[in-house]
Structure 1
């Protein structure tokens, strides 16, 4: 009799546990939406306090390891999930479980995984999507961009990109001089953050933890240049694409590390810290990245003006644009399309309504900066060592 009672109690407890698992995810989503309605509180108590301390701790804990722990954990997790799925399907094939039990346990497993992942991801980083907008931090106005203004921005960026490319031109064939190795590039990335943080403390970066991924070609097949792994605090960078793309990617992932979750905001931070980095290779990478986003926008709204602007590209810049296009075309495959669809869905699930298109919204932020200072950065405004490089930005 007692065993029957205990059995029934156990079944009731299992049902209650399953109900809690099913309810956990929607409850978490509702709580996050309530929190997201108060960006100033998120900025003060989450980004500026909890996340700042947590990310510092993770970067101190894992930053000294020479290998990308986050990448290894990610691949291990994917492998473990695939093994679990195969074993579960095998049980069904061998008729060790019924179709009803297979469906019930599968649904329960999916909800359990999503609930745990959502809780950890949101708590350890995801709430940064709801912090104070960066335009308030750097004191610019994000307003609609007119066609005329966009042309002026593109012309200015072409001027800056040509000038910074000229600093790196090696010979009459316009070959690119690479004055820095990959390891030096990773180590040099903090210099721009140090300079910008003197004016905007929210952009301060401490406890460096940026690593090159293993087998970077795999990431290129997925169309991915870098990824921030919030569970270890590491910025993982694909160092296989053309070198002039890398500083912009590195600083983009570092922007994620300091709490700028939105892709357009991470792009904007990357632009600022690249432009103000004392190494001219970073300056070129930042200008190149900003120019591509601005020109892509111009191509969509005014193709004639776009073609006209292309005439002002320097020979070296044209070479780099062709090289970049050929590189990514060599990795085009159906997997990349799925990867883009999945990431678009992921961004929209985190209240990034434009999904993967949010990367290009950096144009509005660049325009705000352009209206404020014409993309000039005087030495006296951003003091630091080797200021001679900053003078080049004022051409």
Structure 2
């Protein structure tokens, strides 16, 4: 009798999970429903930031650890005959709760109206990208002279909290024709508890939709870090697509009065432009790299050293899985820069 009841419960929760997949898939096709989930996001983000931002460590990471322990415990019990059926039943319940919460708090935001439809159409030619690369090379050279260095002549951040506050301030200056999302005065940037592991995964930062925290790897080179924070703040605003978060991060940082944030943004933009054309005109890319200022060359060497020291199987694995995740949410893969570049070129047409 108990076996029959447990079997029916498993079928029920498996059916609920499948029904959720179909329901949220249907929701993703209806912009009026997606807009409703955008409002839910704004409400829960505000509440979660008020509740969790004051905690000095990442509550979201702690929740991930506890959830991981729970799932591992239940999976281990699957291998025991006496507890197998009940453990599978509990796993299905946990998966249902996680999936539902994720979709309500975050998942549906991947289906918002793309930013690109708000910008004028233009041809993204190689020559246009070359001109922009040279523009951001000169900007990067100029701004680089304004930042501090360590004893090795490498860019180093002196006040990370000032950068975080500047990002929050700059959110209020975003063009209204691109976004009217609500900015926040609450600082909810948190160093990830998994920083050392993240360095081996290629992941610079991530947004936790369950706690509204923007996580970052505190071990990153300073040239990466300010733009990474800006990118994650774009997720906090409600931009789920990775390349759109890059673009919003660009808008936040490119006009900043904080030279550290501005340099990191300009440098990211330059690198993205060069990456977009390396297969089309390798000679131009090499020439541009050779024309980096001596200060920028030291920063580039420091980045390459960081990457070389943290390459391995985890990097390959997370790069592969992240690629699958992006594509499953109708985004380009993680190594593709064309959408961000497309947004950049279109924006520069009306804001040269």
Do they fold alike, i.e. is TM over 0.5? yes
Alignment of 1:72 with 2:62, yes or no, is yes
Equivalent runs, 1:97-176 vs 2, <5 Å: 102=84, 111-136=92-117, 139-141=118-120, 145-168=124-147, 175-176=153-154
- Following the alignment from structure 2 to structure 1, what is the Cα–Cα distance between the partners of residues 166 and 175? 16
> Are residues 1:316 and 2:260 paired?
no
SS at match of 2:172: helix
* Alpha-carbon offset, residue 107 of structure 1: 6.0
Cα deviation, 1:117-159, whole Å, max 9, x if unaligned, reads 22111111111101111234xx423655222222122122212
1:302-361 deviations in Å (ceiling 9; x for gaps): 212222332332221121111111101101111221112222222223232x23235653
Which stretch has the larger CA shift, 247-256 or 80-89?
80-89
1:215 CA displacement:
5.2
Q: Are residue 30 (structure 1) and residue 22 (structure 2) matched?
A: yes
Displacement of 1:238 in angstroms is 0.8
Native 8 Å contact 2:10 2:89 kept in 1:
yes
The answer as to whether partners of 1:168 and 1:176 remain within 8 angstroms in 2 is no
Q: Is the 8 A contact 1:227 1:253 kept in 2?
A: yes
Residue in 1 that maps onto 2:52:
62
Whether the 8 Å contact between 2:148 and 2:156 is mirrored in structure 1 is no
What's the counterpart of residue 220 of structure 2? 241
Q: CA deviation at 1:75?
A: 1.5
The answer on 1:185 being equivalent to 2:177 is no
- Which residue pairs with 2:252 in the alignment? 273
Residue 327 (structure 1) aligned with residue 306 (structure 2): yes
* Structure 2 CA distance for partners of 1:338 and 1:177, relative to 1, 3 Å: closer
Tell me, yes or no, if the aligned pair for 1:42 and 1:132 is still in contact at 8 Å.
Answer: no
Asked if the contact 1:195–1:276 (Cα under 8 Å) also holds between the matched residues in 2, the reply is no
Question: Equivalents in 2 of 1:246, 1:159: separation in Å?
Answer: 21
Q: How many residue pairs end up in the alignment?
A: 351
- Relative to 1, partners in 2 of residues 1:216 and 1:273: Cα closer, same or farther, differing over 3 Å? same
Q: Could you tell me which of 84, 90, 95 is aligned with 2:74?
A: 84
Moved more, 333-342 or 107-116: 107-116
SS in 2 for 1:228: strand
Shift of 1:88: 3.2
Q: 1:74 to 1:143 in 2, by over 3 A?
A: farther
Deviates more, 1:357-366 or 1:328-337: 357-366
Give the distance between the partners of 1:248 and 1:235, measured in 2 at CA: 13
| Equivalent pair of 1:233/1:257 in contact (CA under 8 Å) | yes
The gaps in structure 1 that reach 5 residues or longer are: 1-6, 375-395
d(CA) in 2 for partners of 1:306 and 1:225? Answer: 24
Cα pair 2:71 2:91 within 8 Å, conserved: no
1:46 and 2:37 are equivalent in the alignment: yes
SS at match of 1:132: coil
Correspondence 1:20 to 2:12: yes
TM-score (norm. length: structure 2)? 0.90
| Matches of 2:253 and 2:290, distance apart in 1 | 25
SS of the residue aligned with 1:196? coil
1:347-392 deviation line (CA, Å, top 9, x unaligned) = 223232x232356531111111222222xxxxxxxxxxxxxxxxxx
- Answering whether residue 273 of structure 2 is matched by residue 294 of structure 1, we say yes
Partner of 2:263: 284
CA RMSD, 1 decimal:
2.6
